[in-house]
Amino acid sequence: MTDMRVGHGYDVHRLTTGRKLILGGQEIPFELGLLGHSDADVLTHAVMDALLGAAGLGDIGRHFPDTDPAYAGADSIKLLEYVTALLKEQGWQIGNVDATILAQRPKLAPYIPAMGRCLAAAMGVAADRVNVKATTEEKLGFTGAGEGMAAHAVALIIK
Ligand code: MG
């Protein structure tokens, strides 16, 4: 019998000066970047939490504590490769991932295809199994005010 599970991930990071903006493993030219212990790739963090959630393996805070100096400045795409390996060890295959970035600025559309390809490569799946979207929140709330960015992701895994 096929076992299918879904998971959801959500993450937020604050925008600040003096940091690179990394989303889906892509460095995006912008005057602000996301603040965090790792590279603060909010999209990749949401994707990892969706995968871990689907597999019943907790969340990224449990696997990569932000108090651990090993993860200072960490490349989140490498962490996603690790999460993928964890799932694989337990016999899970990734069916698909759908994710949405919430950001007022900059315009992310030109970078979306590369984000999807990068996430798919890290998860070892075909690019058409990964969908990345971006939206503004119409200048409402903290993303609308440009104080931070958020990301949602859902993942389907199959055994
Ligand atoms: Mg995070």
Instruction: Quote the ligand 1 centre to 12 CA distance (angstroms).
Output: 6
**pLDDT at residue 1 is higher than 90:** no
**Per-residue pLDDT at 123:** 98
In angstroms, what is the span from residue 149 Cα to ligand 1's centroid?
Answer: 10
Going from N- to C-terminal start, the domains of the chain cover: 4-158
Residue 42 has pLDDT above 90, yes or no: yes
Q: Is the pLDDT of residue 63 over 90?
A: yes
pLDDT of residue 117: 98
| pLDDT > 90 fraction of the chain, expressed in percent and rounded | 94
Calculate how far, in angstroms, residue 95's C-alpha sits from the geometric centre of ligand 1.
Answer: 23
- C-alpha 126 – ligand 1 centre gap (Å): 25
**Residue 66 confidence (pLDDT) above 90:** no
In the reported structure, the alpha carbon of residue 135 is separated from the centroid of ligand 1 by a whole-number distance in angstroms of 19
Cβ-count burial of 121 within 10 angstroms (0-12 exposed, 13-18 middle, 19+ buried)? Answer: middle
Q: Does residue 129 surpass a pLDDT of 90?
A: yes
Residue 155 has pLDDT above 90, yes or no: yes
State the Cα–Cα distance between residues 27 and 25, nearest whole angstrom: 7
Task: Write down the CATH number for the domain with range 4-158.
Answer: 3.30.1330.50
* pTM listed for this prediction: 0.97
Name 100's Cβ contacts closer than 8 Å, sequence gap at least 6.
132, 133, 134, 135, 151, 152, 153
In the reported structure, the alpha carbon of residue 76 is separated from the centroid of ligand 1 by a whole-number distance in angstroms of: 9
What average pLDDT does range 98-120 have in this prediction?
98
Does pLDDT of 159 surpass 90?
A: yes
